[in-house]
Amino acid sequence: MPQPLLDPPKPVGESIDTVLDQPLRDSSENFSDSSAAQSPKTFLSVFGTTFIAIFLAEFGDKTQLAVLLMTAESQRPWIVFSGAAIALVATSLVGVLLGRLLAGRLSKGLLEKVVGSIFLVVASSLLWDIASGM
């Protein structure tokens, strides 16, 4: 009988982290604290913060409306939803990889300025949506 059956399950944070985080820890020297051991609690708090921020930002957004319209038009809601879901996961992945690329290339001070500016751009974009009646 092989051993793995008896192994205790790993914490979620550790088992999934190896997918994206591991390769970049080696290359990003300016992120001194990124090699610190991550607890599942950290993972969950980052997950929760991100989830709430993105969910609020996208709620009632044009993507939600586009999916709604395509669903109503096609009468094949599950297929439209599947296509949309795959696309959203793909754009998220591209975004996160770009963010990792930036984090690896820029000094910590410059990274903070760039990231801070992006946050302000996102905030303005949201305000613009409200103003233009989205």
11 binds another protein (CB under 8 A): no
Closer residue to another protein in complex, CB, 8/133 = 133
Task: Give, in order, the Cα–Cα distances in Å from 25 to each of 32, 50, 116.
Answer: 9, 21, 22
Residue 10 CB, shortest distance to another protein, in Å, is 14
**Closest to another protein by CB, 2 or 9:** 9
Q: Is 117 in the site for another protein (CB under 8 A)?
A: yes
Output 4 or 21, the one with its CB closest to another protein: 21
- HSE on the CB side for 61, CA within 13 Å? 11
Using rule CB under 8 A, residue 121 touches another protein: yes
Contact 40, 11 (CB under 8 A): yes
Dist. CA 41–CA 23, nearest whole Å: 22
